[in-house]
A and B are shown apart, each in its own frame.
Chain A
Amino acid sequence: MNQQELKDKLAEIKDKLTDIQQPLDDRISLLCEAENAYAVNKFLFEEVPLRFVIATGIDSDDCFEVLYHYAYDQLGFLITLKAFIRDRENPAIESIAPFLPGAEWIEREIHDLLGIDFKNHPDLRRLILADDWPEGVYPLRKKMAGEIAKQWPCETSVRPTTESPARRTVKLSKPVLAVGPFHPLQEEMEFFQLSVDGEIVTDIDMRISYNHRGIEGISETLQFDQVPFLVSRVCGICSASHPLAYVQAVEDIAGVTPPERALYVRVIINEFERIHSHMLWVGLAGHFIGYDTVFMWAWKYREPVLDLLEEITGNRNNYGNVKVGGCREDIPDETVPKILQEIDKLEKKTEMLTKAVLDDPIIHARLKGIGVLTKEDAIKYAVTGPTARGSGIAIDVRRDDPYAVYADLDWKVITQPEGDVFAKAVVRLLEVLEAVKIIRQAVKKLPKGPVAVEVKEIPPGEGCGHAEAPRGETFHYVRSDGGNRPVRHKIRAPSFVNVPSFRASCIGEHISDVTITLAAVDPCYSCTERLAIVDRQGSILHGYEELHRLSCEKTARLKKEIGPPEWKLEDF
């Protein structure tokens, strides 16, 4: 569809909307009342169809707003549906999770943080607040901000008991553990809890709260130019993509375009991050299936990339290099030949490894057909990044809604149709090679000029910015009222939508494939450590170490059946 057809299509639901706005060429806002939100969402997701990005809950003075963000990738449009909930005493809205499983988690989060009730939600339990967080206290409501830590201190826990408070929030197990006293630390391995029938996984539940630092809340207390440092630490390994998405959102509000050199520098740093993040993943994946030398090798070849980034930006991670209006630091000309040299070396090694992996019959047998995420499930769970591209969905923010200078460079979007772990591995390996190509072009075309423009004021308005992080689309929504701080800053990391899809790809799999299936989604490292299999009574049958061992043993078994691989890492 072209632009006009899209707008006509959206106009079909006009009777349920109160207004349609187009603040920018590729940003559309639809306004409606809460009662009509369900019907409009269903229309947008199923009829148009659009890709669901995330939902944002906002506490405005006289009402609550729930913003549903959608993307139309063919044109690079971001379409936001704003639903107004006028009842401040008992805010409620119809849940869209029944037809959009990808929205389950975000509705639980909005419920935790703002107290909005989602009717007919399949499972509205606490998601991201701690177990000892008091009921009825909603941290993102305006009146609560700043007072919470003082008034509700953490409980000082007494001697460990058999009943873990966290148990009541996990529906798979009974409140009281059937088997004697535990290490509390062992029973906290309930980040992912899988139920099994024999050796096949039947159900999954996930508990996340350990990493919740309340960044969206802290962001509202910082000034616009301090926020990039904060969001860079949302996730250590996507630490260039988050600030970039945020800064793009604010630049949309302010109507600012950074100078060309800044855009090139942003591209170079982000692609380097993609390279070292994918190398980290390759190492971990190798570790999970028992190819430990791949682990050592991949992490060893990450090091020159990190050293180069340290030379350019001053740190191996958390670069702090983007700001509203451009970049904080330039790439010195002396570094350019070094960059070219390093990526040449890296390209050779990665090509050899890719070829070896693509030809290795054991890796084929081990990873093909495992952890399949079908295209339909991938759309329903709204996944992005290599997880989506490995299931045949050709979305990539760099091509769909080009930011920085991706539109001026020559590169390909890598997709694979099968949806299994092997497909995702191939996507990531080939993306490293594409990233090398991009960096080479960007470095050669690097124009002269300043690296930032001065931005004095951020006018009132709202902006959506997204960037393609190594794991998928990072989306930031920023609302400003003309002051110094964001009124609302919504951060959606790609893993937030990718990790729940683990449920679709893992049920029905053998327990020896569980670790690699989770790793294929590429969550943050510490997520995969917290994986356990429980029986009906809730006692742990297999911990993470056991699952890892099973995974390595399956590989060894396949090695024996098929014969050892023909390539050795020592040759590289």
Chain B
Amino acid sequence: MSIPLNILFWIVVIPGTVVLGLIASWIVRKVSALVQWRVGPPLLQPLYDIMKLMGKEILVPQEAQQTIFIAAPLVSLAGILLLSIMLWRIAIVQTAFIGDIIVAIYLMTLPSLALILGSSASASPHASLGTAREMKLVMGYELSLVLAFIVVIIKTGGQISLAAIAQQAPVLSISGFLAFLVALLCIQAKLGFVPFDIAEAETELGSGVLMEYSGALLAVWKLAQAVMLVALPLFLVMVFLGGFGTAGLSLVWGIGKYVLILVLLILIKNTNPRLRIDQAMRFFWFYCGITMVIAIILAMIGYYSGIKWL
């Protein structure tokens, strides 16, 4: 890629991702409102929320672990922004390195871990209730998520390079489709959407993980969640749906794939009641786990016997 375009990329990538994230979170809220026959918030509402939070004072509980309390949201935002940069770079510039999918998986866990650390550093018994639940939830879906990616890696013949994986569309096979479904639900949980909004909903109701956060720190958490709405579906597009093109038709196709995932997330969000933590864990460990084991077996059979659609 030429040098001026390269420089343009580096200037635009972070602000662009943030803006895209805010627009995506507006889409989620607006669609949810329309489903409930309401009007919903104006386009810039997520931006107003962040701006307002930046302007409020930050209250840190007296007994909290201050360093971790303050660092946790920053770590969360940093991790997810790094993931976004990596994904855009692979998509637009087509630079990749061996093993980048593993780096991506690690970076994806950073926001969840940061949430757990941040809320336990709050030293509040109510936040600790939410923390315990969040920990159980994370243990539940991380395994399924990794297994889903393993299915893809097997199907692409052991390539652990995102650029190569993105050339193929593993979703067009049985094991790939199963893996895509499971990964979608894990992303739903990671984003904190219904039916897995066990931590998020409690924030609204007063005993949530983010209860002690205020002001700019809360703004950073919200920002991280908005960016997750860009990074995670994008990751799914690249891993399962055949990549995000950059020129002409493939760009439109890529945007279409991203919107499809967003729509699926919103649909699942609005048509399901909230699950309890033990139900969620059973769902991930048992149902998703078994499904993924089956998918892995199918994928291995398919690969070694050359049957593409398994």
Chain A directly contacts chain B within the complex, with at least one CB pair under 8 Å? yes
Q: Name the residue on A nearest B62 (C-beta).
A: A181
Q: Do B125 and A179 have beta carbons less than 8 Å apart? A: yes
Give the complex CA separation of A181 and B122 in angstroms.
10
Give the complex CA separation of A553 and B280 in angstroms.
13
Knowing A545-B207, A549-B276, say if A181 contacts B61 (CB, 8 Å).
yes
Residues of chain B within 8 A (CB-CB) of A552 are 273
Q: Does A183 contact B (CB under 8 A)?
A: yes
Q: Does B154 contact A (CB under 8 A)?
A: no
Give, as a whole number of angstroms, the nearest-CB distance from A162 to chain B: 10
8 Å CB contacts to A: which residues of B228-245?
none
8 Å CB contacts to A: which residues of B185-229?
202, 205-207
Q: Does A229 contact B (CB under 8 A)?
A: no
Give the interface size bracket for B toward A: 10 to 19
Q: Name the residue on B nearest A160 (C-beta).
A: B62
Residues of chain A within 8 A (CB-CB) of B124 are 180, 182-183
Give the complex CA separation of A553 and B274 in angstroms.
9
Knowing A181-B62, A556-B273, say if A545 contacts B206 (CB, 8 Å).
yes
Q: Do A182 and B207 have beta carbons less than 8 Å apart? A: no
Q: Does A335 contact B (CB under 8 A)?
A: no
Q: Does B63 contact A (CB under 8 A)?
A: yes
Give the complex CA separation of A316 and B252 in angstroms.
56
Q: Name the residue on B nearest A542 (C-beta).
A: B129
Pick the residue among A546, A553, A556 that contacts B207 (CB under 8 A).
A546
20 A-B pairs within 8 Å (CB atoms) are namely: A180-B63, A180-B124, A180-B125, A181-B61, A181-B123, A182-B124, A183-B124, A186-B125, A186-B126, A186-B206, A540-B125, A543-B126, A543-B207, A545-B206, A546-B129, A546-B207, A549-B274, A549-B276, A552-B273, A553-B276
Give the complex CA separation of A543 and B129 in angstroms.
10
Residues of chain B within 8 A (CB-CB) of A553 are 276
Q: Do A182 and B125 have beta carbons less than 8 Å apart? A: yes
In the complex, per-residue mask of A520-552: 1 if CB is within 8 Å of any chain B CB, else 0? 000000000000000000011001011001001
Give the complex CA separation of A549 and B207 in angstroms.
12
Q: Do A543 and B273 have beta carbons less than 8 Å apart? A: no
Residues of chain A within 8 A (CB-CB) of B126 are 183, 186, 540, 543
Give, as a whole number of angstroms, the nearest-CB distance from B80 to chain A: 28
Give, as a whole number of angstroms, the nearest-CB distance from A411 to chain B: 39
Residues of chain A within 8 A (CB-CB) of B125 are 179-180, 182, 186, 539-540
Give the complex CA separation of A539 and B205 in angstroms.
19
List 7 additional A-B contacts (Cβ < 8 Å) besides A180-B63, A186-B125, A545-B206. A179-B125, A181-B63, A540-B125, A543-B207, A545-B205, A545-B207, A546-B129
Give the complex CA separation of A183 and B63 in angstroms.
12
Residue positions of A touching B, CB distance < 8 A: 179-183, 186, 290, 539-540, 543, 545-546, 549, 552-553, 556
8 Å CB contacts to A: which residues of B125-158?
125-126, 129
Residues of chain A within 8 A (CB-CB) of B123 are 180-181
Give, as a whole number of angstroms, the nearest-CB distance from A539 to chain B: 6
Give, as a whole number of angstroms, the nearest-CB distance from B178 to chain A: 24
Give the complex CA separation of A556 and B123 in angstroms.
33
Give the complex CA separation of A540 and B125 in angstroms.
8
Residues of chain A within 8 A (CB-CB) of B61 are 181
Q: Name the residue on A nearest B212 (C-beta).
A: A183
Pick the residue among A183, A186, A540, A545 that contacts B202 (CB under 8 A).
A545
Q: Which 9 A-B pairs have the closest CB atoms?
A: A545-B205, A179-B125, A180-B63, A543-B207, A181-B63, A553-B276, A180-B123, A539-B125, A181-B62
Give the complex CA separation of A37 and B202 in angstroms.
53
Q: Name the residue on B nearest A189 (C-beta).
A: B206
Q: Name the residue on A nearest B204 (C-beta).
A: A545
Residues of chain B within 8 A (CB-CB) of A186 are 125-126, 206
Give, as a whole number of angstroms, the nearest-CB distance from A178 to chain B: 10
Give the complex CA separation of A539 and B63 in angstroms.
17
Give, as a whole number of angstroms, the nearest-CB distance from A95 to chain B: 38
In the complex, per-residue mask of B89-131: 1 if CB is within 8 Å of any chain A CB, else 0? 0000000000000000000000000000000000111100100
Residues of chain B within 8 A (CB-CB) of A543 are 126, 206-207
8 Å CB contacts to A: which residues of B256-281?
273-274, 276
Q: Name the residue on B nearest A162 (C-beta).
A: B63
Give, as a whole number of angstroms, the nearest-CB distance from A34 to chain B: 48
Give, as a whole number of angstroms, the nearest-CB distance from B270 to chain A: 14
Give the complex CA separation of A454 and B274 in angstroms.
61
Give, as a whole number of angstroms, the nearest-CB distance from B208 to chain A: 9
Residues of chain A within 8 A (CB-CB) of B273 are 290, 552, 556
In the complex, per-residue mask of B51-70: 1 if CB is within 8 Å of any chain A CB, else 0? 00000000001110000000
Residues of chain B within 8 A (CB-CB) of A183 are 124, 126
